[in-house]
Amino acid sequence: MKQNAYIAGVGMTQFGKHIDRGLKSLTIEAINQALKDAGLEGKDLEAAYMGNAAAGTIVGQICVPGEVALREMGIGRIPVINIENACASASTAFNQACSMITSGLYDVVLATGAEKLFHADKLKTFSVFSGAVDVENYAAVEQQIIDRAKAAGMQLDMDGAGAKRSVFMDIYASMALEHMSKYGTTQAQFAAVSAKNSYHGSLNPRAQYREALSVEQVLTSPEIAYPLTLPMCSPIGDGAAAVILVSARKAQQMGLKDPVKVASSVLRSGWDPETDDELSIAATCAMEAYEEASVGPKDLSCIELHDASAPSELIYYEQLGLCDKGEGGRFVEEGHSRLGGRVPVNTSGGLLRKGHPIGATGIAQIVELTEQLQGRAKGRQVDGARVALAENGGGFINGDAAALVVSILTK
């Protein structure tokens, strides 16, 4: 929907392996950073939307993860809404918080995403991803993956899917094979996405991985599921991110000097297309977000998108209208999505290098874009950034994301 909310403050933990820290600790760190950035206190909050996807599985905290973190901070009485929406949990929390501000119900709202994914039992971690599909029809999900690869003339080895790796890597591998078959996209072009994001991540002190990789290093890394090698797959991680949203009235009252406006934020669930040429959920959300923000792809200064795999980013170039269908490989190869390029994508390092604590990812994107628009992204600043887009999807049902959010921020 068309939005009229302003970002007053942002905060984010280091993403990575935080074995010695609990979910509350990470959540509180991000919230305190955001409150300090906004110049506000916990008592100023009127509502809170808390995104999390895996706490029930990994740490056993079900039902009230938001309330327990806020109560630890001495924050109670306000409405607290816990949101679970797969990898789009945090962006859904952001979307709902913005919508409540826009509708006039609140003047100051917190949106947070937090996650712990590391666990001594890797099967527990992988089970989170296996649960983000139709579990009552799991055999059909696997068959869809196999059929997609077969249609591209390839046989995908599903041995180890969901046990030795996230089943989503097999989903992304089948999507990559389909794109290669249709458009001649190469494995090296997928590797170029990972190499580009590794360079961006090397400039981000909060990224999980800071080593810059070449295309050759990506290609010669261990194979996960052809054509994906290890650096083409987003890592699991722990972390949290938070944003304080305020109304136009509150922003004026606070005298915000460099406000970032949420011009649009569109949330949709997937559907069963009636024809093969029907737009994807990402393309549909993007078109709606562009229209509501009165901008187009050519107006974008920078983008944070859901590169859960390198092929995902390349395909999203096309679905977001950055280039024509089939041109994603050339787009990254020619440097258009690199810092200094036409529209830098994933200046944070993206999910591939910044990390992917799934319940935190969507708001971590908002943190990066806010800092870009305010000129605070030291070492990786996009010159003159004025319009930014965040795209965050989650789950998988019948060939597409189960839920997806596209938000547009303006300076």
Catalytic residue among 18, 119, 306, 356: 356
The SS3 assignment for 159 reads coil
As beta bridge partners, residue 108 has: 246
Contacts 24+ apart (CB under 8 A), 39-43: 39/8, 39/9, 39/254, 40/8, 40/9, 40/108, 40/244, 42/70, 42/73, 42/74, 42/75, 43/75
Catalytic residue among 18, 87, 98, 323: 87
Strand duo 47-51 + 228-229: pairing: unpaired
Alpha helices in 203-247 (DSSP H): 215-219
CA distance 387 to 263: 10
Among 273, 269, 251, which Cα is nearest to 261's?
A: 251
Whole-number Cα distances in Å, 259 to 250, 266, 409: 11, 21, 10
CA distance 374 to 232: 30
Question: Do the beta carbons of residue 331 and residue 210 sit within 8 Å?
Answer: no
As beta bridge partners, residue 82 has: 50
Q: Is 356 among the catalytic positions?
A: yes
Whole-number Cα distances in Å, 23 to 27, 69, 208: 6, 8, 17
Catalytic residues: 87, 356
